[in-house]
């Protein structure tokens, strides 16, 4: 009888915990979804500017701050500053231990912080704070030991950095980094991964404290077995620390407040997207690589998202498929789709310098050229 009671208690505990997990997961998406449309933008006119020639590895990213373009060279660790027309103004940082340099082997991600500070994320859990004078303020290493034995969705040690690594700050001294889990006990070929795993690592960058892991993957993933090669997302944070989350296979955009509680969801499906996704039912790394590199380019999915608080404009990019020469760009205002247009492949909107919105960098190493698109929107 005592044995029976013990089994009953354990069973009830597991059931209650499972229900709690399920209820918590559902809470992340318990909002009314809207798909309002009022198309007023049929096309945009793209101007092309070419950045002045620089000595670079042609591996890096473009960012915009204070009405200037910043090209961050990931390998040489230089930061080139250009004016709004692509004219070179100056070069900062560099790889090394000398004055004005940073002891980072490779720049995985870079972001601007409040008070004109900068943060560099390296490839080995290292990160560096740069002050407003472009001087190295501090060097840190995240205290995050990857746990391959014990699995706890709430434990940061369960996760590692995501493949599509980027970082966004809030106004309270935190940065947020995409994460995923890949242990045999907890990975993207298991249903609990999609309901229980978190998606963002919250870090207090001044104190070097990992605060928590937050977020969930879209419920759309529960319709498949499984889509590890499409289990990515993109996000942005506005000037009130609200989160804008766009999952790769979900047409909805989810908005969360600064406490990461759901606020609303809106969005419309992109045009001419091939969403015939191929499933990966078991953890087969060879098959995963084949799907990721060979099948993924043929499918349609949502990529970059960027929200501009002062204009109340949100841009979301998406892939159509490999057979078309274009990708898609959606433009939302007041949660309403006002434009869904064809744009060049890999087109993302990254910043605004009045009166233009600017795209990401298009890097052509063969011709030693870096170009950027820009465009205006009149509403």
> Quick check: 265 and 252 in contact, CB under 8 A?
yes
pTM (two decimals): 0.91
Q: How far apart are CA 135 and CA 93, in angstroms?
A: 8
Name the phi and psi angles at 290, rounded to 5: -65, -45
pLDDT per residue rounded down to tens, the chain (379 residues):
444 444 433 333 334 444 455 557 878 888 888 889 999 999 999 999 999 999 999 999 999 999 999 999 999 999 999 999 999 999 999 999 999 999 999 999 999 999 889 999 998 889 999 999 999 999 999 876 555 556 889 999 899 888 878 899 999 999 999 999 988 889 999 999 999 999 999 999 999 999 999 999 999 999 999 999 999 999 999 999 999 999 999 999 999 999 999 999 999 999 999 999 999 999 899 999 999 999 999 999 999 999 999 999 999 999 998 889 999 999 999 999 999 999 999 999 999 999 999 999 999 999 999 999 999 998 7
Helix H, strand E, coil C: the string for 100-141 is: CCECCCCCCEEEECHHHCEEEECCCCEEEEECCCCCEEEEEE
Helix (H) or strand (E) holding 244: strand 243-247
Pairing of strands 60-65, 68-73: antiparallel
Measured between alpha carbons, how far is 36 from 268 in angstroms, rounded to an integer?
A: 8
For the domain 31-375, what is the CATH code? 2.120.10.30
Cα–Cα distance, 112 to 118 (Å, whole number): 5
Start-to-end CA span in the chain (Å): 74
Q: Residues with Cβ < 8 Å from 341, sequence gap 6 or more?
A: 41, 42, 43, 44, 328, 329, 331
Alpha-carbon distance of 239 to 199, in angstroms, equals: 21
140 within 8 A of 175, measured Cβ to Cβ: no
């Amino acid at each position: 009888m005592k044995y029976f009671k013990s089994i009953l208690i354990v069973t009830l505990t597991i059931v209650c915990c499972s229900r709690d997990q399920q209820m918590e997961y559902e809470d992340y998406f318990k909002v009314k979804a809207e798909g309002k449309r009022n198309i007023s933008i049929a096309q945009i006119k793209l101007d092309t500017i070419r950045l002045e020639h620089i000595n670079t590895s042609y591996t890096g990213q473009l960012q915009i701050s204070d009405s200037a373009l910043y090209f961050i060279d990931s390998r040489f660790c230089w930061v080139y500053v250009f004016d709004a027309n692509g004219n070179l103004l100056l070069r900062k940082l560099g790889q090394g231990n000398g004055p004005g340099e940073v002891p980072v082997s490779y720049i995985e991600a870079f972001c601007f912080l409040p008070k004109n500070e900068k943060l560099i994320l390296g490839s080995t859990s290292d990160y560096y704070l740069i002050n407003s004078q472009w001087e190295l303020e501090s060097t840190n290493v995240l205290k995050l030991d990857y746990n391959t034995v014990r699995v706890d969705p709430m434990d940061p040690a369960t996760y590692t950095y995501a493949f599509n690594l980027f970082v966004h700050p809030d106004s309270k001294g935190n940065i947020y980094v995409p994460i995923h889990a890949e242990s045999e006990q907890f990975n993207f070929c298991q249903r609990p991964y999609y309901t229980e795993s978190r998606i963002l690592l919250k870090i207090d960058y001044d104190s070097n404290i990992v605060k928590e892991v937050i977020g969930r993957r879209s419920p759309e993933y529960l319709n498949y077995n499984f889509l590890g090669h499409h289990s990515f997302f993109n996000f942005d944070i506005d000037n009130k620390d609200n989160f804008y989350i766009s999952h790769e296979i979900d047409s909805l955009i989810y908005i969360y407040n600064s406490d990461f509680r759901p606020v609303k969801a809106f969005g419309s499906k992109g045009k001419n997207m091939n969403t015939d996704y191929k499933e990966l039912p078991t953890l087969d790394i060879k098959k995963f690589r084949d799907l990721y590199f060979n099948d993924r380019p043929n499918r349609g999915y949502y990529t970059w998202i960027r929200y501009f608080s002062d204009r109340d404009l949100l841009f979301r990019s998406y892939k159509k498929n490999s057979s078309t020469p274009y990708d898609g760009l959606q433009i939302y205002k007041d949660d309403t789709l006002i434009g869904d247009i064809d744009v060049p492949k890999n087109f993302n909107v990254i910043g605004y310098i009045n009166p233009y919105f600017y795209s990401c960098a298009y890097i052509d190493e063969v011709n030693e050229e870096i170009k950027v698109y820009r465009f205006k929107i009149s509403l």
